[in-house]
Amino acid sequence: MKNSEKLKILLASSNPGKIQEIIALSKKLPIEWIPQSEFNIEDTEETGKSFIENAILKARHAAKISGMPALADDSGLVVDALDGAPGIFSARYAGKTATTEERNQKLLTELKDIEEADRTAAYHCVLALVETENDPVPLICHGVWEGSILFEPAGENGFGYDPIFYVPTHQCSAAELSTAEKNRISHRGQVMQQLIDVFKSANEP
């Protein structure tokens, strides 16, 4: 692929927060993202048992309907004291129609008797890129952002569990970070950097 050419890839997500972050983080890539709404693609059922399985499912689903290469993201929050919950169920932890605030409150309620030292958690993000529906070797990128769960929300930025996710390196919640700083260190920032590195390697002479 020549540097002047842009590769059209379907972005298989209906989550506005994820879409904004992926677009912002991929400005260095020779990619033109095509929203799945252009093909009236609805989110497929996430029947996988891991972030990787669900990301591949979503990417294959989008590629099948669109006939295009597709990138999908599956991500979530893993809390050690809850044996890894909410995990792959992060987006529907308090029910499919629950608001972000309701999901956060459910998590805080479940951790109400857990002391600070035992509230460790990590955000996980997996990207799956397939060239076709039946691509035998999807490109997989996996990022992990370590932290812990606060006792109450703090901050107005970000989305999802960001207001209750404490970032020890910065001594604040993810929702108190600037967009630029969050994108630099977050789980999604990590996987997008991996994707950038793959494209750089592919274009080296």
Which amino acids are annotated catalytic? 74
Residues 6+ apart with CB under 8 A from 155: 162, 163, 172, 173, 174, 175, 176, 177
Peptide bond just before 86 cis, omega within 30 deg: yes
On whether the CB atoms of residues 69 and 133 are closer than 8 A, the answer is no
CA distance 19 to 119: 29
On whether the CB atoms of residues 93 and 103 are closer than 8 A, the answer is yes
Half-sphere exposure at residue 87, Cβ-oriented, CA atoms within 13 angstroms: 15
